[in-house]
A and B are shown apart, each in its own frame.
Chain A
Amino acid sequence: MIGDPAARQGGSSLDAAERLLAELPPAPAAWCSGLHKRYRRRTAVDDVSFTVDRGEVVGLLGPNGAGKTTVIKILLGLVRADAGDVLLLGRPAGDPRARSRVGYLPELFRYQPWLTAAEVVALHVRLAGAQVSSRERRECLGLVGLADRAGDRVGGFSKGMQQRLGLAVALVARPEFVVLDEPTSALDPVGRADVRDLLTSLKARRVAVLLNSHLIGEVERVCDRVVVLDKGRVAASGTLAELLGQSELRLRLDGVGAEAEARLAAAGGLTRDGDAYTVTLSADQDTAAVPELVADLVGLGVRVHAVEPGRISLEERLLDILRATPGDEDR
């Protein structure tokens, strides 16, 4: 009823051309540019742009109210952006067919309580227009640990079981792009581990994933790239190596002269707390240069008590990014 005529059903030549175009370049799983969204006076999303490439697992991080869920809903056409463009698997988001190979687990998940788990899955297969055998659907329910509850009404499910069902719904129609908004919020520790395995297997099958989670360990383990949102803006984004590139070296030294201090500073950013020295190594230097540094220090008459290489965790980095006010020094 509503919508552009080009998006209508029917095998017109325009359609064929569009499909050809969609297949030529490996269009990213999701691409968005300049997204803006205001709820009355409150800006929820402010100029957000990012890309999720095919087969890539991207983590969406940020504090409560940062706009993560809103961005996800805009991508899926559930919320209308005030400005900005979205392409899903090469199609504009205004075209429902853009979502035909997309799986989604909402943050606020709820499924028809009067249906059984198997019926909910079957309904979503139908709506997706996919051909999925009943054996495959059962397998999918088994994958999320609901094999023996497939015939039970969803109304009697616990919260975690409903979230598991949501995962099955997101995965059942052979998606090429999966959007998971806090997929483990209601899961037990085993369920969380299962979700990690699921994500790894999706990655192995080159299914793109956009994962919003507050469990940073989870994100750090499975994501290729992260996008950090704060107050509706992209505060940082990049591969894990880019964001966590720096490793650091913690040393306990005494007898450090001016010359030795200069040598330490040459190795990277230096901070000192009593006899504890921390050198932040830049990405290219890595820990290969450590023996040389230690040899030089010893040569300069420094007594070396301890040398401990370490890596900044995503959590520390995230806290840095979120706590940093513009113009502030990093650490």
Chain B
Amino acid sequence: MTARTVFTLAALTLREAARRRVLRALALLMVVLLALSGWGFSRLAGTELDGTELTSGETRLVAAQVLNLVMFGLSLIAALGTAFLSGPTLAGEIESGTALAVLARPVRRSTVLLGKWLGLVAFGSGVVVVAGLAQFLIVWGTLGYWPPQPVTGLALLAAQTTVLLTLGLLLSTVVSPMASGVMAVGLFGATWIAGMVGVVGQALGNEGVAAAGTVSRVLLPTDGLWRGAMNAFQDPIVLERLGGPALKGGFAFLSSAPLTAVYLVWVGVWIVLVLGLAALAFHRRDL
């Protein structure tokens, strides 16, 4: 009964995503981004720098960096899309009264929440994986570059989306639909900036500033996961040979180290914790 309710609601959430304009809007944005990047990469292939053609190593470094830049755009669109889907899906239903009829059925609120979460995770991950794969193919076709760990990278991007939509779900149990979407995206942006600040701090050898990035990555793991994903997309050998000074310079779209197991465990704990908190807030709420 409980499992069936979870799957019923997950399927319902996916159907909502498919039937509302969200999916079409996301697909359109993705296609625009992919087309632009395809054009950009094809131009990059024949670029000359200071009169000489780029060496293959240089090309690969640039490719990895631009790939990461585009992937950042993709993950941003996916994250924004799911954050703006996860907020309204719960808060909006409470506000409009749609939730009344559903929750008067023999279902637990936590089960309903879990079902919605599952549906959103499936949706967000699906978008990330499909768009990401398309991007890899474009880069491969234009520059002949294939990222070393595509599966790990995409899984981390999917995890990033999951983290953000879980946060959106928690917010939507306590504040209004629009506010929850805006807050989720705002926090996402804030940690990204804090992460950048941290990288700059590291480059300058400033412990305090570097800590800002670390702390923000623990509080909201989106930026940490994003850095892990970037690391999985770039060629480690080239990075070592050419990337040293670039990394020290605090590059936004290259990452020097893969994620630690401890951090991944923390991300899991974080998701369970936030989802549990959302269930608790939802359970106590008067409709």
Q: What residues of chain A have their CB less than 8 Å away from a CB belonging to chain B? A: 1-3, 9, 39, 73, 76-80, 96-100, 102, 104-106, 108-112, 114-115, 123-124, 126-129, 166, 169
CA of A104 to CA of B19, assembled, Å: 26
- In chain B, positions 232-287 with a C-beta closer than 8 Å to chain A are 276, 279-280, 283-284, 286-287
CA of A303 to CA of B59, assembled, Å: 118
Q: Choose among A9, A104, A115 the residue that contacts B1 (Cβ–Cβ < 8 A).
A: A9
CA of A208 to CA of B109, assembled, Å: 26
CB-nearest residue of chain A to B282: A2
A96 pairs with B8, CB closer than 8 A: no
CB-nearest residue of chain B to A179: B104
Q: Choose among A96, A115, A124 the residue that contacts B108 (Cβ–Cβ < 8 A).
A: A96
Q: Which residues of A contact B15 (CB under 8 A)?
A: 114-115
A-B pairs, 4 with minimum CB distance: A108-B97, A1-B110, A127-B105, A100-B106
A114 pairs with B19, CB closer than 8 A: yes
Q: Which residues of A contact B2 (CB under 8 A)?
A: 9
B97 pairs with A106, CB closer than 8 A: yes
| 28 A-B interface contacts by CB (under 8 A) | A1-B276, A1-B279, A2-B108, A2-B109, A2-B283, A73-B100, A76-B104, A77-B104, A78-B104, A80-B284, A96-B106, A99-B104, A102-B104, A104-B101, A105-B101, A106-B101, A106-B104, A109-B101, A110-B96, A111-B98, A111-B101, A115-B19, A126-B8, A127-B105, A128-B105, A128-B106, A129-B106, A166-B101
CA of A9 to CA of B114, assembled, Å: 17
B100 pairs with A112, CB closer than 8 A: no
A1 pairs with B108, CB closer than 8 A: yes
CB-nearest residue of chain A to B2: A9
Main secondary structure of the interface of A (DSSP, over half): loop
> What is the interface residue range for chain B against chain A?
20 to 34
Q: Choose among B20, B96, B97, B101 the residue that contacts A124 (Cβ–Cβ < 8 A).
A: B101
Q: Which residues of A contact B1 (CB under 8 A)?
A: 9, 129
State how many angstroms separate the Cβ of B104 from the closest Cβ of chain A: 4
CA of A30 to CA of B97, assembled, Å: 23
A127 pairs with B102, CB closer than 8 A: yes
State how many angstroms separate the Cβ of B124 from the closest Cβ of chain A: 18
B101 pairs with A2, CB closer than 8 A: no
Q: Does B28 contact A (CB under 8 A)?
A: no
CA of A77 to CA of B284, assembled, Å: 11
Q: Which residues of B contact A79 (CB under 8 A)?
A: 286-287
Q: What residues of chain B have their CB less than 8 Å away from a CB belonging to chain A? A: 1-2, 4-5, 8, 12, 15-16, 19-20, 96-98, 100-111, 114, 276, 279-280, 283-284, 286-287
B108 pairs with A3, CB closer than 8 A: yes
B100 pairs with A97, CB closer than 8 A: no
CB-nearest residue of chain A to B275: A1
State how many angstroms separate the Cβ of B1 from the closest Cβ of chain A: 6
A129 pairs with B96, CB closer than 8 A: no
B107 pairs with A127, CB closer than 8 A: yes
CA of A77 to CA of B12, assembled, Å: 23
Additional A-B contacts beyond A1-B108, A2-B279, A108-B96 (19; CB < 8 A): A2-B110, A39-B286, A73-B286, A78-B104, A78-B286, A78-B287, A96-B107, A96-B108, A100-B106, A104-B101, A109-B97, A109-B100, A111-B101, A112-B12, A123-B12, A124-B105, A126-B4, A126-B8, A169-B101
CA of A106 to CA of B107, assembled, Å: 17
B105 pairs with A98, CB closer than 8 A: no
State how many angstroms separate the Cβ of A163 from the closest Cβ of chain B: 12
CA of A100 to CA of B109, assembled, Å: 15
CB-nearest residue of chain B to A3: B108
CA of A127 to CA of B19, assembled, Å: 21
Q: Which residues of A contact B102 (CB under 8 A)?
A: 124, 127
B19 pairs with A80, CB closer than 8 A: no
State how many angstroms separate the Cβ of A41 from the closest Cβ of chain B: 15
Q: Which residues of A contact B103 (CB under 8 A)?
A: 77-78
Q: Which residues of B contact A97 (CB under 8 A)?
A: 106
CA of A129 to CA of B8, assembled, Å: 11
CA of A76 to CA of B108, assembled, Å: 12
A114 pairs with B20, CB closer than 8 A: yes
State how many angstroms separate the Cβ of A95 from the closest Cβ of chain B: 9
CB-nearest residue of chain B to A126: B8
Q: Which residues of A contact B283 (CB under 8 A)?
A: 2
Q: Which residues of A contact B101 (CB under 8 A)?
A: 104-106, 109, 111, 124, 166, 169
B105 pairs with A78, CB closer than 8 A: no
CB-nearest residue of chain A to B111: A1
CA of A248 to CA of B276, assembled, Å: 63
A112 pairs with B98, CB closer than 8 A: yes
State how many angstroms separate the Cβ of A1 from the closest Cβ of chain B: 4
Q: Which residues of A contact B110 (CB under 8 A)?
A: 1-2
State how many angstroms separate the Cβ of A73 from the closest Cβ of chain B: 7
